[in-house]
A and B are shown apart, each in its own frame.
Chain A
Amino acid sequence: MTTTVRWEAAESTATPPPPRRGGGTSWRSHRRRGWALLIVAAIVVSAVASGVGSGTVVKAEGAGSLLDFVAAAVSPRLDAGFLALTGTEMVTTLAYAVLGTALSLVIGLIGGVLGSQTWWSSGVRSGRGRRLAGWMFARAVLVVPRGIHEVVWGLFFLVVFGIDPIVAVLAIGIPFGAVTAKVFSELLDETGRKPYTALLAAGSGKWSAMLYGLLPPALPDLISYSFYRFECAIRSAAILGLVGAGGLGFQLALSFQTLRYHDIWTLLYALIVLSVAADYWSSLVRSARARGRRRSRNGDGMRRDPLLTVSLAFGAVLIGFSTWWVGLDVSVMWSGEAWRFGSQLLSQAWPPSLGDGGFGGLLRLAGVTLAMSIVAIALAFGLGALFAVPASTPAHGRDHRAARALRLVAMLGSRFVLVVLRAIPPPVWALLLLFVMYPGILPGAVALAVYTTGVLGRLMAESVDNLDARPLRALRAHGASESTVFCYGVIPAAAPRFVAYGLYRWEVTIRETVVVGVVGSGGLGLVLHHQINAFDYSGALTTLAALIGLTLAVDLTSAAIRRSLR
């Protein structure tokens, strides 16, 4: 149900503080109008900056190869040898995702406890100042790993460890762990604190008190979020393959280089199957959780869910199997060689240096990256909203049977499209777009937009499903037609949420510009990739710092706009 939405919101870096009292409604609508103007201006500027309408974007001669590629969809390569390879790589990608998620949960649990206000606000003696400092420090430590995309971590660890399964596991586990820690700490803070303080009052240690008093009530939510993370980890594992960490993504990259369309399709189908399966499992677990929550609110008490138990047991088995499958050997982490490479890399990176373009060049690159993210999110917002309405569950209207059937087909069709759009990671979309577009910012933006449409469309459809039904019923009772109900009931209620989700996804998109940068679409991501390939680590550190700064700026802007929406 609403859980995806809930998790998306929880992951956002800057949670907007509650709206200030005073100021009045006119002042607020004034502010809102100001933001709206600013957003429109930003989209127009970004579109112009990324080359819309400049004529040198579309590569007409590539249309033929794109048609060939599309035609190959019906005849993927299905010989036994290739299928076996695809199957093996599929399991490898799955194993990376499982192990990465497992690591992120360990980090998330420890970081979540240390980042929670509950942890710091207990104890008789420690002063207010010290507690606040401890909490802020724990939160601050988590900001940097969260601000760096998995792919950047992947590139870094590839340098340190070479090709080794530990690369993918760490690259997924560290940034995911930081996000998980942030969400976990908020979940723990939402949980009733009384049993925990009661245990502390009885002289219990903090960790034991957390274990008995705070974790059991929070556990269902923690598990639900973990499954959502796993769903995301599958996509990240595929992307990491593209930069050389092995798995489906790696095979995809090879097939793209040699333009073997039939191979590409087999791999894409495998990726879609894996992604849809993870999606389905995760949403099954999470909707079971949502049902349990509703039931416990009704006072029926919450029973242990068999689905949850089976899923957890299966997850544990998967972790063991994955470790064996990829031959994970954590001892490479403290091998002398890895340390030598690591420290060498760091000493070369420090002090950071500016590239040829100087500070102005860096600013220009940041601007380009920003433009790419704005174009992407504006496109995805429009497309997502378009798909969201048919993808939402139809109301039980007085429609004709034929109309209802049509509506059902529309729902299933749009849900299918959305699932496919988000199953294929943005860099793969970018590689596909490069058939018909010249390399540049626009193909990157469109690739991000296509993928983000899949995610946003689902979020928006969920929010339409969760609209308060009462006003809609009232409108129908007045004799309003379905289209009138839609204009007067659905749009006004859903629009602010749509905008909020759009803003959340903008925060994610600015991070993901790195990913399409890797396949040659401009901006900071492309430069970063070049610098790492050219062993220019001090330059890469500067670019990375710029990227993190940009990410933070976007987070703060988004939080400010969301605040004015409330």
Chain B
Amino acid sequence: MAEPIIALDDVGVRYGAHTALAGIDLTVEPGERIAIIGPSGAGKSTLIGVLNGTVAATSGTVTALGCDYRRAPPRQIRASQRRIGTIHQRFDLVEQLRTVHNVNAGRLGSWPFWKAALSLLLPRDVQRVRATLDRVGIGDKLHHRTGDLSGGEQQRVAIARVLVQDPVMILADEPVASLDPARGREIISLLLELSEEAGVTLIACLHDVEMALGRFDRVVGLRSGQVAFDKRRADLLDEEVDALYAFERASGP
């Protein structure tokens, strides 16, 4: 069996007195498509942060692409991060920049500083950017100001930015939460297609349970910072999903 792409061993994250994650064990094989579901505040975003190395685990070990975030030298961590693309709920694009620059921003990890600076004046690798934008369906928006695009288009730009990274794994943190349901389904389909085509691992946090249960192979349920279940889609029972959200419904306003 191939080496796992992600290995979390008893990982915990604490912010002061608040425990965001505790005792998380998670192993991900290359090419898996995993949905992470759970009520808000369950620690989904924190988990994504731990996986891409922006949130430091306060206990346990995190190994991503064979690189231990706690022990590896920064250079090696960055090399791993370069192969992990993250898509965020609020897109996290720079609205003031043209689309081409926002897509090229995905290459910053492999570009030296001077090339990055030069590219802001004379965009580099335009052909590749155009081809990538074509792949996500907005090839005509190359020179538009990103802030002027619609929400769905902006999320496609964010996906294009991840694609030019040439990732082995895509992390998506509530990628469709700020889109209407129809746009949301389109984006999820696009992500799944792209990951299938290129054999890229996909891990998506989703608030929408229907969407998660639809087309992902494996579902991880999170509740108050702990793994409630971690099952093949086929083995998952409706009661388990209901139980995950039950607490939220009972105590909700």
Closest A residue to B72 by CB, please name it.
A125
Interface positions, chain B 184-213, Cβ under 8 Å from A, are none
Cβ-defined contact, A201 with B81, below 8 A: yes
Give Cα A204–Cα B115 distance, bound, in whole angstroms: 13
Chain B residues whose C-beta falls within 8 Å of the C-beta of A327 in the assembled complex? none
Q: Give the residues in chain A near B88, CB-CB below 8 Å.
A: 194, 198
In the complex with contacts A125-B74, A194-B90, A301-B148, A199-B113 CB distance below 8 A: no
Bound CA–CA A196/B85 (angstroms): 14
Q: Across the interface, do A202 and B165 meet the contact criterion of CB distance under 8 Å?
A: yes
The listed residue (B86, B111, B120) touching A201 by CB distance below 8 A is B86
Interface window among A25-33, A209-217, A466-474 = A209-217
Contact partner of B78 (CB less than 8 A), chosen from A195, A205, A216, is A205
Q: Is the CB of B108 within 8 A of A217?
A: no
- Docked complex: B61-94 residues within 8 A CB-CB of A: 69-70, 74, 77-86, 88, 90, 92-94
Contact present for A212 and B97 (CB under 8 Å): yes
In the docked arrangement, what's the CA distance between A151 and B50, Å? Answer: 52
Contacting residues, chain A, for B83 (C-beta < 8 A) = 203
Cα of A203 to Cα of B53 in the assembled complex, Å: 9
A212 B108 Cβ-Cβ under 8 A: yes
Q: Which residue of A lies closest to B104 (CB)?
A: A212
Considering the chains assembled together, what is the distance between the CA atoms of A216 and B90 in angstroms? 18
* Assembled-state Cα–Cα distance A198/B108 (Å): 11
Interface size on A, residues (CB 8 A): 25
Task: Report the bound CA distance from A449 to B79 in whole Å.
Answer: 59
Most buried by B among A199, A203, A213, A219: A203
Q: Tell me the count of chain B residues lying within 8 A, CB to CB, of chain A.
A: 44
Shortest beta-carbon distance from A447 to chain B in Å: 44
Is A557 part of the binding interface, using a Cβ–Cβ cutoff of 8 Å? no
- B109 contacts A195, CB within 8 Å? no
A123 / chain B contacts, CB cutoff of 8 Å? 74
Residue of B nearest to A198 (CB): B92
Is A208 at the interface (CB under 8 A from chain B)?
A: yes
Note all chain A residues with C-beta closer than 8 A to B93: 195
Asked if B81 and A211 sit within 8 Å, CB to CB, the answer is: no
Kindly state whether residue A207 has any CB partner on chain B within 8 Å.
yes
**Chain B contacts of A198 at CB under 8 A?**
86, 88, 92
Contact for B84 among A194, A202, A205, CB less than 8 A: A202
Give the chain A neighbours of B99 by CB distance below 8 A: none
Nearest opposing residue in chain B for A123, CB measure: B74
Contact at B54–A203, with CB atoms within 8 Å?
no
- Residues of chain A contacted by B116 (CB below 8 angstroms): 208, 211-212
A212 in contact with B78 (CB, 8 Å): no
User: Within 8 Å of chain B (Cβ to Cβ): is A270?
Assistant: no
Instruction: Please give the distance in Å from A482's CB to the nearest CB on chain B.
Output: 44
Contact call B97/A199, Cβ cutoff below 8 A: no
Query: A interface, by DSSP: helix, strand, loop or mixed?
Result: helix
Closest to A209 in B: B108
Residue with the greatest number of chain B CB neighbours at <10 A, chosen from A198, A207, A211: A198
Q: At the interface, yes or no: A124 with Cβ under 8 Å from chain B?
A: yes
Max chain A Cβ within 10 angstroms of own Cβ: one of B69, B78, B86, B92:
B92
Residue B12 interfacial (CB < 8 Å): no
B120 CB contacts on chain A under 8 angstroms: 211-212
With A194-B92, A201-B81 given, is the CB distance from A213 to B105 under 8 Å?
yes
Do B77 and A124 touch across chains, with their CB atoms under 8 A apart? yes
CB distance A212 to B105 under 8 Å? yes
A100-141 interface with B by 8 A CB criterion: 123-125
Q: Report yes or no: B69 in contact with A208, Cβ–Cβ below 8 A.
A: no
Question: A4 within 8 Å of B by Cβ?
Answer: no
Q: Which residues of A contact B109 (CB under 8 A)?
A: 202-205
Which of A124, A194, A205 is B113 in contact with, Cβ under 8 Å? A205
B97 (CB) vs chain A CBs: closest residue: A216
Interface 0/1 of B162-188, CB less than 8 Å to A? 100100000000000000000000000
Min C-beta distance of B65 to chain A, whole Å: 11
Q: Does B52 touch A at the CB level, under 8 Å?
A: yes
Question: Which among A203, A204, A211, A217 is the interface contact of B117 at CB below 8 angstroms?
Answer: A211
Determine whether A408 belongs to the interface, using a CB cutoff of 8 Å to chain B: no
Is A14 part of the contact surface with B, judged by Cβ < 8 Å?
A: no
With A194-B90, A195-B92, A204-B108 known to touch, is A125 a contact of B70 (CB < 8 Å)?
yes
Establish whether residues B54 and A201, one from each chain, have CB atoms under 8 Å apart when the complex forms: yes
Residues of B within 8 A of A195 (CB): 92-94
Interface residue? B95 (CB, 8 A) = yes
Which residues of A have CB within 8 Å of B110?
203
CA of A197 to CA of B86, assembled, Å = 11
| Distance, CA A208 to CA B117, complexed state (A) | 8
A200 adjacent to chain B (CB < 8 Å): yes
Judge whether B96 and A219 touch: CB under 8 Å: yes
Of A200, A205, A212, the contact of B54 (CB 8 Å cutoff): A200
CB distance from B42 to the nearest CB of A (A): 21
Give the one of A123, A204, A211, A219 with max B CB within 10 A: A204
Select from chain B the residue with minimum beta-carbon distance to A126: B74
Is residue B106 within 8 Å, beta carbon to beta carbon, of the partner chain? yes
CB distance from B77 to the nearest CB of A (A): 6
* Known pairs A203-B109, A208-B116; A217 contacts B74 (CB<8 A): no
Contacts known (A195-B92, A201-B54, A203-B81); A208 close to B97, Cβ less than 8 A: no
A208–B147 CA distance with the chains assembled, in angstroms: 21
Please give me the residue from chain A that is nearest to B93 by CB atom. Answer: A195
- By a CB distance below 8 angstroms, the chain A residues around B55 are 124
Contact across chains for A208 and B111 when beta carbons are under 8 A apart? yes
Q: Taking the complex as formed, is B56 at the interface, i.e. its CB lies under 8 A from any CB of chain A?
A: yes
Q: Is B101 an interface residue (CB 8 A)?
A: yes
Considering the chains assembled together, what is the distance between the CA atoms of A197 and B55 in angstroms?
11
**In the complex, how many angstroms separate the beta carbon of B62 from the nearest chain A beta carbon?**
9
Cβ–Cβ contact A202 & B81, under 8 A = yes
In the bound assembly, the distance between CA atoms of A280 and B193 in angstroms comes to: 57
Assuming the A-B contacts A194-B92, A212-B116, A217-B95, are A204 and B105 also in contact, with contact meaning beta carbons closer than 8 angstroms in the complex?
A: yes
Rounded to whole Å, the gap between the CB of A120 and the closest CB of chain B is 15
The residue in B53, B69, B101 that gathers the most chain A C-beta atoms within 10 A of its C-beta is: B53
- Contacts A203-B109, A204-B108 known; list 15 others, CB within 8 Å: A125-B74, A194-B88, A199-B108, A202-B81, A202-B165, A203-B79, A203-B83, A203-B84, A203-B108, A203-B110, A205-B78, A205-B113, A208-B111, A211-B117, A216-B97
Interface residues of B (CB under 8 A from A): 49, 52-56, 69-70, 74, 77-86, 88, 90, 92-97, 101, 105-106, 108-111, 113, 116-117, 120, 145, 147-148, 161-162, 165
Give 6 CB contacts A-B under 8 Å: A124-B55, A202-B82, A202-B165, A203-B109, A211-B116, A302-B96
A-side residues, CB < 8 A to B, are 123-125, 194-195, 197-205, 207-209, 211-213, 216-217, 219, 301-302
The 10 closest A-B pairs by CB, nearest first: A203-B109, A203-B82, A203-B81, A204-B108, A198-B92, A216-B96, A208-B116, A208-B108, A201-B52, A194-B92
